[in-house]
Amino acid sequence: MTTFVLRRLAAGIFLLLVISFLTFALLSVPHTDVGRALLGQNASQAAVDARNASLGLDRPMLAQYADWLSHAVRGDLGRSWFTGEDVWSALATRLPVTLSIVVGVTLVTAVLSLLLGVWAAVRGGVVDRLVQVLSVIGYALPGFLVTLVLVLVFAVQLRWFPAIGYIPFTQSPSGWLSTVTLPIAALSVGAVAGVAQQVRGSVADVLERDFVRTLRARGLPPGRILFRHVVRNASAPALTVLGLQFVGLLGGAVLVEQIFGLPGIGSMTVQYTTRGDIPVIMGLVMVSVVGVVVVNLVVDVLVGVPNPKARVA
């Protein structure tokens, strides 16, 4: 298992380097005059050139990337070109907001998908068809439409939850819960629909295997067979899809944060990307890639623990 984890970590570090280089290369393509954006349209060309030179933009792209990477490996992501704020400080204030949403959606998705998928696979018949129909509907509904309906019904009309804003957990746990409930619900609809179908298919497939018939013939309780043997053997595909959902939520949070006015990394990405603020954008990309690597590593370990064959890949 140690070798397996080390291989995955090495692959994650390689992915981090490749993504950071490609992102930096794309951002370095001339699409906006940063010096002009900082100094204004009335600034002289000499002043603009001097400002770009002070930011290192007059150097070759590879030299700029090497300089950024040398600082990044020491934990220094630089400062925003436009606000002067330390990138780590900016991320530290916004990352908890997005993590509150993404982790909440993942937990809700895991619980509801497991319940619905196992229920559909075990009961079959009308229950199975009902769960499949609901899953297709939930997966097909546009995310922005679900979000707007939730806001109109539960925030505007019923006034059960605030329509916009965010309250930190440290400030008020109940206030925090009220501000993240609707965003979590909005993103959970499609996520539950996708993972529930995978759980249902995996559990139904395992129920047809010979070892399950053998366990039944030995007289083991149905509940023990289901949760100790069937769900365990069916967990690998479901965990993989759940991990992919987590990664996708990092991007899906952009729309939800914009609608609910949440100060997370999604809205931060939109704001700083339009400015061309490379230090902040690189920080955002690195945080996202590290999140992807960590989630994939956790999923691989969870899949590899009960299934030694998975560690060979």
Contacts 24+ apart (CB under 8 A), 22-26: 23/281, 23/282, 23/285, 24/61, 24/64, 24/65, 24/68, 24/278, 24/282, 25/61, 25/65
28-42, 44-58, 87-101, 160-174: least confidently modelled range: 28-42
Instruction: Please state, in angstroms and rounded to a whole number, the distance separating the CA atoms of residues 14 and 67.
Output: 18
List the domain boundaries for the chain: 2-72, 88-312
The token duo for 132 is 């499949």
Mean pLDDT of 110-128: 84
State how far Cα 135 lies from the chain centre: 21
What pLDDT was estimated at residue 305? Answer: 61
Are 61 and 24 in contact by the 8 Å Cβ rule? The answer is yes
The token duo for 92 is 């530290």
Share of the chain above pLDDT 70, in %: 94
What pLDDT was estimated at residue 134? Answer: 80
Sign of CA dihedral 143, 146, 148, 154: negative
Instruction: Please state, in angstroms and rounded to a whole number, the distance separating the CA atoms of residues 291 and 309.
Output: 25
What pLDDT was estimated at residue 304? Answer: 65
**Closest to 247 (Cα-Cα) out of 199, 288, 190:** 288
Q: What is the pLDDT of residues 219-228, one digit of tens each?
A: 778 777 777 7
Share of the chain above pLDDT 90, in %: 1
Instruction: Please give the CATH architecture assigned to the domain spanning 88-312.
Output: Orthogonal Bundle (1.10)
Sign of CA dihedral 71, 75, 76, 80: positive
Contacts of 154 by beta carbon, 8 Å cutoff, 6+ apart: 160, 161, 182
